[in-house]
Chain A
Amino acid sequence: MHLHEHNPEPSNPLGLDGIEFVEFATSQPQALGGLLQRMGFAAIARHRSREVMLYRQGSMNLIVNAHPDPLPGMAAPTAAPQLTAIAFRVRDADFAWRRALDLGAWEMPTRASAMELNIPGIHGVGDSLLYFVDRYRDFSIYDVDFVALPGVDRNPPAVAGLHYFGVVQSILEDRTGDWIDFYTQLFGFSVLPGGKYFGIMPKGTLLESPCHKFYMQLIEPPAGSEDIEWEERLLRLGLGAPDVRAAVTALRERGIVFVDRNPIQPSDKGALTQIYLGAVTFELVVSHLAPESARPPVR
């Protein structure tokens, strides 16, 4: 039985070790690709069998999935890009997956074709998936499923030290407790004390990963938002930057527009981009974590 063989440390039962990649789904991948390039990501490789592209900057891998045929029970990509998956780095993906199922996670179907990696995943919020990846030190999962684009730098440096900081998840009213249970029990996240926030969007509940490398932020509908369509999903990416103002300057030069009106203005603490493609924003948060930036990704 796996649970006893691995004897993981109790505070980090899966050996969580940061984010391996995040995935967007969209039926208009070129539009999103253009936005990502302005955000500093570069297209690196193309999936062998599906309309899926790998982007990268610094330590961040980002996948754009435009494959029209969704997994059973999932929605096909829409024009407006949706954040549809987070892949967690773990010590042992199979152990992590089995443990999650044993605690009540939903198994997700995978669609690995012949010679492709089968990455174990579970059901996350809404239509999203949470993957477990354990091959990230000595081996690149992308070398199996992706074909490198010719002539591109496979390890483009990060703009202004950007790195994954966290993911904001919208939830419905009175659902904070449910999702706290989800992230604490399945992954070993812990709730930060009330009032401790990063960035310029201080609201909701902040959960810290057991590896202390990233955060999940849960946000219930704000008061007075009865007329706003509010659904449960992965809402936006938080990117850490050691110097937010420098990052804002660098991204503005690349054509990114930031919200600049009270109460949301770029500051030393954080900044928020405008909404792109009807759905996508990026939040910058001051962060000296830069968990992986010092270590170039494996080729």
Chain B
Amino acid sequence: MNIDQFGMDTITLAGPLEAKLRAVRDAGFTQIMLQARDIAGHPDGEAAAIEAVRASGLRVTGFQVLRDFEGLSGRLHAYKLDIARAMLAMCHALGSTVLLVCSSTSTHATDDPEAYVRDLRKLAMLAVPFRIRIAYEALSWGRRINEMPQAWDLVLRADRANLGVAIDSYHMLATKTPLDALDEVDPEKILFVQLSDFMWQEVRSPDERINTARHFRVFPGEGAHSADIAELVRRLDAIGYRGDYSFEVFNDDYVQLPLATVAARARQSVRFLVGKVSRRTLPVRANRTAAS
């Protein structure tokens, strides 16, 4: 493994987009995970944000996040479809080829898994002309889909070439999903992996998971599950996953520290993981994004 397989996520850093891009690049990273807010909230507009990303030279790992998409009907479905279309267009404009979709938490969503399959297929179809892949992630507080194997099962049932899963170490740790579950997953269908840890041993209730996920995540090597995360990355490596890892660290403290300080912690986390997993250098999967 090497640094080129790892990237940072803009949600971990404070400040304007340009400062985040600069800090991530200066720390030696070559890729960045973007959120829609980076673009929509740019003071000079969407085009300026897109230009800043392109000018940074950083590869876009992916674009996040479409929430509560699947299982809705009627007006709610039509509304979410509009949101999805807009996010796909932004994702494409940024040169990102991956859109992250989190499993629904909506109480308005049906429990019918067939509706979930139908909606994921529809989203995947919308993404085809844009050359975007849909990475479906099980939120640990998702209403029906809240563990990685359930997300993988849905992806298998939907069976679309541009549909896969995103794996997030936080959610797998939160739900104590056995790592053996990874052996069932086709590594080609893992579109990317998000890494973060947290400070306490367990997060029992969905509310506790939400609160921890949004405020108290830390980089791998800094939290209570270092060995588990190292093992997760080892397992992914063993099943043949050669894609990207992104540090998705929501942390209230990190967004009030200098960007270089936080980026340095991310860089330290790469050293921790590479040291724990292996020292071999793998060929990085070909970069297919237009932003490079």
Contact = CB atoms under 8 A, between A and B. Distances in A.
Interface string A249-276: 0000000000000000000000000000
Interface stretch (A26-34, A48-56, A98-106): A98-106
Contact of A172 (B126, B131, B162): B131
Contacts of A175: 131
A181 interface: yes
A182 B125 contact: yes
A124 B122 contact: no
B129 interface: yes
A194 B117 CA distance: 29
B129 A124 contact: yes
Nearest to B129: A123
A177 B129 contact: no
Interface string A213-242: 000000000000000000010000000000
Contact of B122 (A104, A123, A174, A232): A104
A140 interface: no
B288 interface: yes
A186 B161 contact: no
Contact of A232 (B123, B124, B131, B162): B131
Nearest to A182: B128
A241 B129 CA distance: 32
Given A103-B121, A185-B121, A232-B131, A177 B162 contact: yes
Contacts of B161: 176-178, 180-181
A102 B124 CA distance: 12
Interface residues of B, number: 15
Contacts of A123: 129
Nearest to A171: B131
A45 to B, nearest CB: 31
A182 B128 CA distance: 7
Interface in B119-141: 121-126, 128-129, 131
Contacts of B122: 102-104
Given A172-B131, A173-B288, A178-B131, A104 B162 contact: no
A136 interface: no
Interface in B147-164: 160-162
Contacts of A180: 161
A125 interface: yes
A273 B161 CA distance: 34
Given A123-B129, A173-B288, A181 B162 contact: yes
A180 B125 CA distance: 11
Interface string A143-180: 00000000000000000000000000000111111111
Contacts of B162: 177-178, 181
B291 to A, nearest CB: 15
B129 A104 contact: no
Given A103-B122, A180-B161, A181-B160, A174 B288 contact: yes
Interface in A101-152: 102-106, 123-125
Contacts of A182: 125, 128-129
B115 to A, nearest CB: 13
B285 to A, nearest CB: 10
Contact of B125 (A125, A173, A176, A185): A185
Interface in B44-88: 85
A297 to B, nearest CB: 31
B234 to A, nearest CB: 27
16 contacts: A103-B121, A103-B125, A104-B122, A104-B124, A104-B126, A105-B125, A106-B126, A106-B129, A175-B131, A177-B161, A178-B131, A180-B161, A181-B128, A181-B161, A182-B128, A185-B121
Interface of A: 102-106, 123-125, 172-182, 185-186, 232
Interface of B: 85, 121-126, 128-129, 131, 160-162, 286, 288
Given A103-B125, A185-B125, 9 more contacts: A102-B122, A104-B126, A106-B126, A125-B129, A173-B286, A174-B288, A175-B131, A181-B125, A182-B125
The list of the 8 closest CB pairs from A to B, nearest first, reads A104-B125, A177-B161, A104-B122, A104-B126, A178-B162, A178-B128, A178-B161, A182-B128
